Structure 1
Amino acid sequence: MAVIGSESYANLHEQLLSWEACEPLVAEYCEEAGLPASAGAFTAELKRQLTAVAAKVDAGYPDNADLTIDKDSGKIVLSPRRGKDRRTSAQDLEREILKRLPEWSLLDVLARTAYWLSWWRHFGPVSGSDPKIRDKLARYVLTVFCYGTNAGPAQVARHMRQRVSVHELSLAGNQHITTGKLNMASADVIDMFIQLDLAHVWGDVSKAGVDGSQIDTWENNLLAETSIRYGGYGGIAYRHISDTYIALFSHFIPCGVWEAVYLFEGLLKNESEVTVDIVHGDTQGQSLPVFGLAHMLGIQLLPRIRNWKDLTFYRPTPTVKYQHIGPLFGDPDKDVINWRLIENHWPDLMRVVLSIREGRLSSAALLRKLGNESRRNRIYQADNVGVDARRRTRADRASPPRREASTLPRRYIGSGPPCYTSSTLLPPGPCKCCAAPRTPPCCTRDTALLHPTTTTRTTSSNRSSTSAAAPTARSRAGRGGRRSGRSGGRRGRAQGAPRSPRTGAPGRRSMPRSRTGRPARLRASARRSRARWRRARR
């Protein structure tokens, strides 16, 4: 039995090509992508590019009238540019062009292109047999018009004055036209369009822009869901638009997914002869793994990042200093690129990118795995350590990151000294994995993540033993004489219970609470975290 899309849940490392299979392909691929063909040369080229770009920006800062950096406070201000007023001659030219342009019907345009290019030849039954349609060109043109305009078979058949029935349109749309066949028909139109001289007036076909828009769909759809960002119900139509103003690729994605995950799918599945080297996008079109994979694929990613002033830039070396743009970079002792890590995992990076090119691994599946709490993954670190920005705000620089600690359920409480969060505690004694004494600074979030077997789960039977100060006996408390603990209400109290690590209120349980004030064990996210933790322990 085969399930479409099941490869997204498979083991990532089993889908990758082995290094023995990738080694003969490395030289050819690096030549196509413009990358050095060895680990040392690859790292040296990255370091050279970052050093050169940072020095160029620092030298050109005095001439940049739009960017202002306060040396004392480090505040960054980027002034928006105002567009120039249109001249009267330009407005007159626009009116004259619109007056001379004839008005064409969309159905006439489809019929003419179908007659010239025969893009309808890709449509037909899945078996490959003859469709047995008397006028195939007219039927497929009407079908494309029907579903392309979202009018529906009933409305199109009604306005065609009984020349075609609803059954004929729906049959051709459901059984003769698939997504793959529609992409091949679009490729014929794109290849012919880029041969026109007028298309190259706008661009050179090497650039593309990506963006998504919410489209209303039927509720009985696997992709349909409520979009918080757009405020509607349906799916996201994610499109790749060339600089010649023609759509290269488009597909539907769920509303709740980060759009950058599907950025490379449209470029890799494009059936036309157009090759894109530069991609423009918005905040949804970028992330740390996307930046790293774009460089490995030979694509230059140029997104517009919202709140980019809160990002921290990496330094190429700890000793490098900049005269004007120094506040953009982080701590010289911490925010420095680990070039050795990139060089050591260069074969793994090549395995990933070659597996994507050979079709063994989907780029969307890879980015979903690398973007979901995968900071402990060495391939993730090697792929993103060369990126010049990371999403840590300036207020968080002095405090350790707490993103990894959120992977532990809040009910896993031990009796040792607390880590970065009051909900992650470790039992006393030496570590079972490395036999090292579990004392600060060993008792950190890294110890909790790298040695998960040392954590103990708090239940109703051993909750009193998880803290040395907690008593063994509990009394009746709260309204109605309810008992404290799991069987009682949330208002229960324990005799002699220690103070809460968050609020410091006496007599309350040490169960951590969420921002809303409710116990974390009652939240749905906590239940999902416990399920993920159980699967990770297996």
Structure 2
Amino acid sequence: MVEQYGRVRRFLPSLFKDIDFEAAPAGVMTLEAHDYLSQLLDSRKQILDDAPMDIVSNPWKRLVVDKEGRVNKRGYTLCFLDRLQDSLRRRDIFVANSDRWGDPRAKLLQGHEWQINRIQVCRSLGHPINPKEAITALTQQLDATYRQVSENFDDNQAVKIDDSGKRPTLTITHIDKLDNPPSLQHLSKQIEALLPRVDLTELLLEINAHTGFADEFTHISESNARANDITVSICAVLLAEACNIGLEPLIKSHVPALTRHRLSWVKQNYLRAETLVKANAKLVDYQSSLSLAHQWGGGEVASADGMRFVTPTRTINSGANRKYFGSSRGITWYNFVSDQFTGFHGIVIPGTLRDSIFVLEGLLEQQAGLNPVEIMTDTAGSSDLVFGLFWLLGYQFSPRLADAGESVFWRVDKEANYGALEELARSCVNTHKIEQHWDDMMRIAGSLKLGTVQASELIRSLLKSDRPSSLAQAIIEAGRINKTLYLLNYIDDEDYRRRILTQLNRGESRHAVARAICHGQRGEIRKRYREGQEDQLGTLGLVTNAVVLWNTIYMQAAITHLESQGVDLKDEDMARLSPLSYKHVNMLGHYSFTLAEQVINGELRPLKQPTDQEDFS
């Protein structure tokens, strides 16, 4: 490894001279080594007599210290770089005022500010101030759940314990697909037959007439003045972005609201992250006001999943993943869908970064009127740390674990006998760590809830190390208890498993609608910068919500019509209807086959005037 020194030597001057590192208490030793080596940057000295040795772990000693007990510069430098990388991941070493490498702990509630918010934060999150009370409540809940599930285990035909391996594991039978009863099939066909055909352009204008969402698109100058027919221009720009076709197909030089200049001006001055969020919130809130949407859910449950998009344009905000992007690079649009089928938040992720980093962020930062308290994700969104943070913030985390049977079941009481589950409950939680760091755990939860720090930023710093900090380990211990509670309920309750599957299927089916809308340029996102990608995919989410809302409005009208005709409708059938059909929505526009008489007679079209060419450029 010491032979690799020549490769890293080239960037050492920039590392030591151009970047001002700072340290948390746990990073002081690394910073001392940094300062020591920076003083020797121009020195040819190869044997270091007084190097700070606290950073040199046992595996590194044979490369740093020679047989005579002398410290060699090359080995010590490589050891320092390894320690620096780990310290940066843990944010024990950080760069002040850096978006990517700053210290998220500096954004947490501190000192007097925390003390005046402490009681209110604990009360609002439903946690006691005293850590012993919190641990006692968790322990009792875990013990009672173990005993209940153990008592039901012999009657649970879907779950078996497999003793054939080195350790016992669970075998969970896959849930059979629910067949659609004839009454539901008939109702779906009746409603589908009643839905009118509609162009996507008309659909957007109609939904605006219901909700007024276009009013949320304000000029960047904050002027209240509105151009004539600005709603038409806004809807045209939304369509161009969501369908990924650009402005060109929508330009009509003889229509003032659709000229090239007007559409370019609207796109530049009205389409922004904050206006998209506000407009989308209007659609989500309107959907929540419809009685049919409440047949599907009350808005308390949501799912999070990612859509993958290839990005052929070279951009720093993309990543490689051969499974999803082939030989190209791409991004993930991690979006959140309520049990009413509406999308209420979305985050653009380079490549396919670990989804669990962003799960909480979507819940905490969404600005719609919904208040989801339970969220479903796929396996990639789960970790012990995320389970712990969800519990601290008062949310229920319900992932679909592909390897639930292989999961570790944790216990607190070493002496308890859990019957059929005794061999599964083989690992013990260290509650002392929770007690020791309880106040800091509450401080993190309060900071996340009050928005002083981003969830993804904090989780990234807590996760990005092979050696979690003591505070991260305390959250992980709490997460292990809550993950075990989830696993016990998951294996005991088939309805719970089906509910998770149903909500995830809603999110995946909604992605199919979004794919159909985003049909231009092979569905590839060609924006170069993250902000442009976020705005375009935010637009796609808004237009998808418009389709869902339009369908719901007309499905509700169709149901009212059927009831007026004396048709007997079952609540359980209406609860399983879906507003995600789109065959009746024309997303491709219209083609004209008419020609001017002079062209039919063989004459050429008039050439463009120079002013038109200048405008075109």
TM-score (norm 1): 0.67
- Whether contact under 8 Å (1:143, 1:169) holds in the other structure is yes
Match of 2:394 among 295, 298, 304: 298
Q: 3-state SS of the aligned residue for 1:10?
A: coil
Deviation at 1:387, TM superposition (A): 2.6
Number of aligned residue pairs: 385
Note the 1:292-371 alignment, pairs <5 A. 292-330=388-426, 335-371=427-463
Q: Deviations over 1:182-241 (max 9, x none)?
A: 001111111122111111010111000110010233514332233334235321111110
Partner of 1:388: 480
CA contact (8 A) 1:142 1:169 kept: yes
Give, in angstroms, the shift of residue 35 of structure 1.
2.1
Give, in whole Å, the separation in 1 of the partners of 2:395 and 2:413: 25
Q: Matches of 2:462 and 2:344 in 1, distance apart?
A: 27
Partner Cα distance (1:88, 1:277) in 2 = 34
Partners of 1:5 and 1:211 in 2: CA distance: 31
SS in 1 for 2:251: helix
**Is the Cα contact below 8 Å between 1:214 and 1:234 reproduced in 2?**
yes
Aligned residue in 2 for 1:235? 331
For 2:242, the aligned partner's letter is G
User: Are residues 1:206 and 2:279 paired?
Assistant: no
Contact 2:96 2:102 in 1 (8 A): no
1:215 counterpart (302, 306, 309): 309
Aligned match of 1:173:
267
Distance 1:324 1:61 in 2: 7
SS of 1:97's partner is: helix
Aligned to 1:6, what secondary structure does the other structure show? Answer: coil
State the one-letter code of the partner of 2:343.
A
Displacement of 1:326 after TM fit? 2.3
Residues 210 and 263 in structure 1, CA contact (< 8 A), matched pair in contact too: yes
Q: Give, in angstroms, the shift of residue 359 of structure 1.
A: 2.3
1:18-97 pair list within 5 angstroms: 18-71=110-163, 73=165, 74-97=168-191
C-alpha displacement at 1:167, in angstroms? 4.1
Q: Distance in 1 between matches of 2:224 and 2:202?
A: 26
Alignment of 1:396-475 (within 5 A): none
Question: Residue 151 and residue 321 in structure 1: after superposition, are their counterparts in 2 closer, same or farther (change >3 A)?
Answer: same
Aligned mates of 1:202, 1:172 — CA distance in 2: 36
Partner of 1:266: 362
Q: Distance in 2 between matches of 1:93 and 1:116?
A: 26
| Kept after mapping to 2: 8 A contact 1:311/1:390 | no
Q: Which has the higher helix share?
A: 2
In structure 1, C-alpha distance between the alignment counterparts of 2:164 and 2:366, rounded to whole Å: 49
The separation in 2 between residues aligned to 1:54 and 1:173, in whole angstroms, is: 57
Tell which has more relative contact order, 1 or 2 (C-alpha 8 A, sep 6+): 2
Q: Which amino acid aligns with 2:115?
A: E
Report the equivalent of 1:12.
Answer: 104
1:346 shift after superposition = 0.6
Deviation at 1:6, TM superposition (A): 3.2
> Would the aligned equivalents of 1:19 and 1:351 in 2 still touch at CA under 8 Å?
no
Q: Unmatched 5+ residue regions in structure 2?
A: 1-94, 484-617
Q: Measure how far apart 1:347 and its partner are.
A: 0.8
| Structure 1: distance between partners of 2:157 and 2:278 | 48
Q: Alpha carbons of 1:72 and 1:319: their partners in 2 closer, same or farther (altered >3 Å)?
A: farther
> Does the C-alpha gap of structure 1 residues 176 and 86 become closer, same or farther in structure 2, counting only changes over 3 Å?
closer
Give the drift of 1:287. Answer: 1.2
| TM-score, structure 2 normalization | 0.58
Q: Where in structure 1 are there 5+ consecutive unaligned residues?
A: 392-538
Change (3 A) 1:219 1:362: same
C-alpha separation in 2, matches of 1:162 and 1:218: 34
SS of the residue 1:250 aligns to: strand
Q: Distance in 1 between matches of 2:96 and 2:373?
A: 30
Three-state SS of the structure 2 residue aligned to 1:14 is: helix
Q: Which residue of 1 aligns with 2:19?
A: none
Pairwise CA distance, 1:128: 1.4
* Secondary structure of 1:198's aligned partner: helix
Aligned to 1:127: 221
The answer to whether the 8 A contact 2:253-2:259 is kept is: no
Aligned residue type for 2:408:
T
Indicate conservation of the 8 Å contact 1:238/1:253, yes or no: yes
CA contact (8 A) 2:287 2:340 kept: no
Residues 26 and 52 (structure 1 numbering): CA distance in 2 closer, same or farther, change over 3 Å? farther
Deviation at residue 85 of structure 1 after TM alignment: 3.9
Of residues 169, 183, 190, the one that matches 2:277 is 183
Q: 1:306 to 1:78 in 2, by over 3 A?
A: same
The amino acid that maps onto 2:131 is: A
> Over residues 474-521 of structure 1, what are the superposed CA-to-partner deviations in whole Å (9 max), with x where a residue is unaligned?
xxxxxxxxxxxxxxxxxxxxxxxxxxxxxxxxxxxxxxxxxxxxxxxx
In structure 2, what residue type is equivalent to 1:118? G
Match of 1:107 among 201, 210, 235: 201
Q: Report how far residue 272 of structure 1 moved.
A: 1.5
Letter in structure 2 aligned against 1:21 = E
Corresponding residue for residue 429 of structure 1: none
Quote the Cα distance in structure 1 between the aligned partners of 2:182 and 2:286: 36
Give 1:383 deviation, angstroms. Answer: 0.3
**Kept in 1: contact 2:381–2:399 (CA 8 A):** yes
Distance 1:115 1:84 in 2: 38
Moved more, 64-73 or 84-93: 84-93
Cα gap change, 1:131 to 1:169, in 2 (>3 Å): farther
The residue type equivalent to 1:149 in the other structure is C
Q: Deviations over 1:60-103 (max 9, x none)?
A: 11111000003575242111132244444433332222112222
- Read off the aligned partner of 1:198 and give its amino acid letter: L
Give the Cα separation in 1 of the matches to 2:450 and 2:257.
47
Q: Secondary structure at the match of 2:317?
A: coil
* Aligned match of 2:554: none
Pair 1:300–1:312, CA change in 2 (3 A): same
Q: Quote the residue 2:492 is aligned against.
A: none
Secondary structure, aligned partner of 1:170: helix
Q: CA 1:177 to 1:4, structure 2 compared with 1: closer, same or farther past 3 Å?
A: farther
